[in-house]
């Protein structure tokens, strides 16, 4: 029988500082972090002011322009990243528990995230030494090549839903390419980023190659996006903030990568095994309490199986065990913050006012273990119209809307009817239909008869307002490089373009 973990093993009552130019330093202020499972104080962390952000940027600039990291061979950078991956695995239990305490998600999820973060660093360690560039056969006595070089100083702003994993997605390719970085973790979930800094310091990463500054968007994120010393900005978060960052990046036309969320559809045709489809639907929306950019937050179901699908999904959703992330029986944890909980509850009220029917959930669990925590029960809306806000807007919580369709054409039209285009899935036993519909869905990540499978080897990003560019895979590495054309004249004779 599984044991319930009631008390954390990791120590959080300690100093959590900024990491600038290879040194841990006090912040200009402090933030109190709250354990979302209890609503009580977890610890205090340092936060930077704008002057400290500038120090971090200058440290990264100096490390790129004059430091050893960009000059290392690909093999040397690769070796470091392999060591880093091994250290993350060595500290995985502590890192996983920190994220559960800090962000609320169940320990089984954070343990998976730590393994995935280590795998990401290991993937880019391997990719760093693989062939890149081109040799071009040009119509001249010339050796012409195209090479990839590091961009320079990279500002990286990560969200609170996958703290260490998102840091890995951004740091791993940037470091593999030879860049230097200033990383801003979410002000809600910075603990594993600081623990990562301790690991990097232990491994003797050269000073200034990675700097980690804590704080909110206006204080830390905005200066990063605006700085003339920063060559690239990478951001994962909301459309609203992404647009602000893109505007700020115009100061020096820095390179920009944006991953801005989604309202992803899961299209279910009548020829599927119903139990399997419902099982994946639950996985698609209630993983990490729906706080996933690619969450399957819209179920589009063939009208002939709609009543049966809704009934089965509602029955299963009611049985999901909600609770603290450190409880081994918990299947879905709390939301990350009181602010996020209130936002989701507000959307539930909006849905009811819009005329959607609340099939299940929409409330908060009661009982002693839920007292003061940020919990919301798994929620399902039916009888939804396409112009409703709960259908069109990203809620980022355990709330799903279920719509019906009468034809394949209508399913495709509904699937593509939002401003987002991050992800989508098709469930059908007809392989021809699967190919047709997946091709028609305008999204960057798609699945057939599955959901949420993510691979470091494959590109991640979306169409439309789900963002710019791609992370992961070879695309993720290329996003941290500049492309240079090199022409070597093999016959340097006068061209006589002008008369002597």
* 120 is annotated as an active-site residue: no
Question: 170: Cβ–Cβ under 8 A, 6 or more apart, which residues?
Answer: 154, 156, 158, 181, 183, 234, 471
Q: Is residue 110 a contact partner of residue 99, using CB atoms and an 8 Å limit? A: yes
> What DSSP string describes 59-84?
HHHHHHHHSSGGGS-HHHHHHHHHHH
Residue 489, beta-bridge partner list = 142
Q: Is residue 467 a contact partner of residue 258, using CB atoms and an 8 Å limit? A: yes
Q: What does the block give as tokens for 153?
A: 């100083």
Q: Which residue is catalytic, options 47, 97, 187, 259?
A: 259
Give the total residue count for the chain.
500
Q: What does the block give as tokens for 68?
A: 């050893």
* 293 is annotated as an active-site residue: yes
Q: Specify burial of residue 95 (Cβ count, 10 A radius: 0-12, 13-18, 19+).
A: buried
Residue with tokens 């610890």: 43
Q: What does the block give as tokens for 397?
A: 């919580």
Can you state the percent helix, strand and coil of the chain, rounding each to 5?
40, 20, 40
Q: Is residue 233 a contact partner of residue 252, using CB atoms and an 8 Å limit? A: no
CA dist list (Å): 214 to 54, 182, 376: 13, 10, 28
User: SS3 for 308?
Assistant: helix
Q: Which residue is catalytic, options 154, 181, 293, 384?
A: 293
* Residues annotated catalytic, as ranges: 259, 293
């Amino acid at each position: 029988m599984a044991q319930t973990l009631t008390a954390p093993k990791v120590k959080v009552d300690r100093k959590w500082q900024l990491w600038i130019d290879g040194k841990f330093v006090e912040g200009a202020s402090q933030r109190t972090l709250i354990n979302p499972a209890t609503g009580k104080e977890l610890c205090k962390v340092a936060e930077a002011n704008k002057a400290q952000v500038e120090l971090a940027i200058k440290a990264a600039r100096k490390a790129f322009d004059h430091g050893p990291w960009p000059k290392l061979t690909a093999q040397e950078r690769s070796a470091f990243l392999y060591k880093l991956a091994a250290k993350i695995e060595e500290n995985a239990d502590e890192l996983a528990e920190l994220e559960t305490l800090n962000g609320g998600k169940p320990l089984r999820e954070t343990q998976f995230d730590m393994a995935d973060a280590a795998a990401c660093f290991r993937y880019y360690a391997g990719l760093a030494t693989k062939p890149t560039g081109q040799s071009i056969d040009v119509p001249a006595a010339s050796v012409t090549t195209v090479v990839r070089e590091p961009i320079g100083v990279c500002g990286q702003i990560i969200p609170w839903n996958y703290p260490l994993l998102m840091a890995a997605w951004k740091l791993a390719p940037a470091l593999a390419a030879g860049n230097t970085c200033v990383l801003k973790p979410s002000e809600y979930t910075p603990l594993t980023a600081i623990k990562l800094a301790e690991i990097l310091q232990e491994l003797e990463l050269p000073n200034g190659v990675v700097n980690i500054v804590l704080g909110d968007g206006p204080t830390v994120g905005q200066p990063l996006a605006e700085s003339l010393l920063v060559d690239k900005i990478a951001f994962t978060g909301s459309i609203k903030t992404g647009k602000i960052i893109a505007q700020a990046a115009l100061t020096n036309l820095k390179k920009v990568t944006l991953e801005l969320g989604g309202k992803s559809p899961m299209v279910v045709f009548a020829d599927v095994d119903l139990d399997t489809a419902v099982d994946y639907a639950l996985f698609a929306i209630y993983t990490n309490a729906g706080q996933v950019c690619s969450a399957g937050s819209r179920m589009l179901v063939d009208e002939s199986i709609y009543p049966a699908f809704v009934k089965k999904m509602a029955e299963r959703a009611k049985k999901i065990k909600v609770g603290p992330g450190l409880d081994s029986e918990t299947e879905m944890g709390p939301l990350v913050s009181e602010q996020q909980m209130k936002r989701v509850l507000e959307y539930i009220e909006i849905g009811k006012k819009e005329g959607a029917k609340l099939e299940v959930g929409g409330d908060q669990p009661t009982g002693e273990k839920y007292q003061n925590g940020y919990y919301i029960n798994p929620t399902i809306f039916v009888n939804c119209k396409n112009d409703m806000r709960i259908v069109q807007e990203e809620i980022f919580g355990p709330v799903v809307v279920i719509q019906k369709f009468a034809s394949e054409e209508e399913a495709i039209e509904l699937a593509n009817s939002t401003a987002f285009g991050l992800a989508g899935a098709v469930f059908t036993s007809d392989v021809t239909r699967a190919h047709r519909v997946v091709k028609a869905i305008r999204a960057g990540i798609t699945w057939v008869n599955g959901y949420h499978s993510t691979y470091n080897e494959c590109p991640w990003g979306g169409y439309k307002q789900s963002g710019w560019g791609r992370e992961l895979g070879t695309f993720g590495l290329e996003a941290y490089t500049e492309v240079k054309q090199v022409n070597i004249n093999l016959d340097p004779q006068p061209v006589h373009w002008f008369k002597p």
